Structure 1
Amino acid sequence: MAPLTPATARQQGMSRSTLHRAARDGKLERIARGIYLPADANTADWEWIEAASRRPEATICLTSALALHDLTDEIPATLNVAIHREARIPAGTSAISWHRFHTATFDLGRKEVPIPGTDQTIGLYTPERSIVDAFRLRGTIGYELPLEALKEWLRRGGEPNRLIALARQLPRSQGPLIAALETLT
């Protein structure tokens, strides 16, 4: 089931006060400011739903993507989500860290995945893009995380040429990635 927002509720013929009354009466559950799910809805990840509802281009990235691809043992404290650099970061109190990525390279290695328990989808960067981004943004997320992810990816049979080809398209990632590959291989 798709989440309800005041705009989607209005499209279904439901007034804002009816929406709030349904939430107050327990028929809807408020998962974030202005986002509701039916109380009997399947279990779902509320941060994923909020990110996808607030920004259609929302894409899981960095530590969160590496964790989803089982390339790190680190459990991210927040959901890392990329949006276009020109987009406004949504207001909210959820555990979401918003990152602005350049529009020209935003779709490189991006795919849509279903959000379990809903009929929504959210973007997710491929393992290769996630590793390259980790090297590119190593000053922000730490220097050990990209190395750990690269080691695991190589152990699984990853092809270094694919990483290098992607790194050539993203700024500040090719040099550190090649240095790490030379050290590890």
Structure 2
Amino acid sequence: MPEPTSQRQIAHGLLTTRGIARLAELRDAGVTAATMSRMEREGEVIRLARGLYQLSDAPLDANHSLAEAAKRVPRGVVCLVSALAFHGLTDQLPKQVWLAIGRKDWSPKPDGTPMRIVRFTESLLSESVETHIVEGVSVKVFGIAKTIADCFRYRNKIGLSVAIEGIQEALRQRKTTPAEMARQAERGGVATVIRPYLEALTANG
């Protein structure tokens, strides 16, 4: 049977609006998996990961990998080095997306953009979460002060130098205050760790 043209139009419209769409979303809109496979073979769409599609001519944002991760792990929150990079607080270019999920959440299977999963308690996972739109996708990212506190909390994973760079840049660019960083550090249980750095960096004004 010939494929109804409308399926392609629906898929194209959905991907234009949402930037990236899961196969489940496309199916809900009336587009079959066979149609998506055909569109992929003909170069109209790109399969980013299993069941995850984007138009082949879609403009790519510098934070494309974050949008892809958000679609694959809707409960995840961009954290640590990836959040520092998003907020412009590090020269590091993470080769993987650092993503926080809950203690009992399913860890995503390796596919598409590499992800580094870090498990947070529910209270820390819901604290200071911002939502940003990247390529039409809602991406959850921890706020600056929270990110810096988390970097000190996970300094053994990312390296102390990265955490120090983050705090220096946040103060230099005036993107948050020492008081807010101290508050987030207190909530994250690293107040005594971060205090000497805050005191040293703010001693001269």
Verify same fold: TM over 0.5: yes
Report what 2:126 is aligned to. Answer: 107
Letter in 1 for 2:154: L
* Greater C-alpha radius of gyration: 2
- Contact persistence 2:77–2:125 (CA under 8 A): no
- Contact persistence 1:62–1:130 (CA under 8 A): yes
Q: Work out the CA distance in 2 between the residues paired with 1:34 and 1:181.
A: 45
TM-score, normalised with respect to structure 1: 0.89
Q: Does structure 1 residue 41 correspond to structure 2 residue 58?
A: yes
Return 5+ residue gaps in structure 1 as ranges. none
Q: Work out the CA distance in 2 between the residues paired with 1:109 and 1:4.
A: 26
- Contact persistence 1:57–1:122 (CA under 8 A): no
How far 1:133 moved relative to its partner?
0.5
RMSD: 1.7
Q: Work out the CA distance in 1 between the residues paired with 2:98 and 2:90.
A: 14
Report what 2:48 is aligned to. Answer: 31
Matches within 5 A, 1:1-185: 1=16, 2=18, 3-44=20-61, 45-93=63-111, 94-115=113-134, 118-157=135-174, 158-171=176-189, 173-184=190-201, 185=203
Letter in 2 for 1:160: P
What secondary structure is seen at the aligned counterpart in 2 of 1:132? helix
How far 1:122 moved relative to its partner?
0.4
Matched residues, number: 182
Letter in 1 for 2:106: R
What secondary structure is seen at the aligned counterpart in 2 of 1:105? helix
TM-score, normalised with respect to structure 2: 0.81
Return 5+ residue gaps in structure 2 as ranges. 1-15
Distance 1:149 1:49, change over 3 A: closer
- Contact persistence 1:28–1:39 (CA under 8 A): yes
Q: Which runs of 4+ in 1 moved over 6 A?
A: none
Question: Which one has the bigger helix percentage?
Answer: 2
Once the two structures are superposed, residues 115-144 of structure 1 have per-residue CA deviations (whole angstroms, 9 ceiling, x without a partner) of: 1xx321101111111110011111111111
Tell which deviates more after alignment, 1-10 or 106-115: 1-10
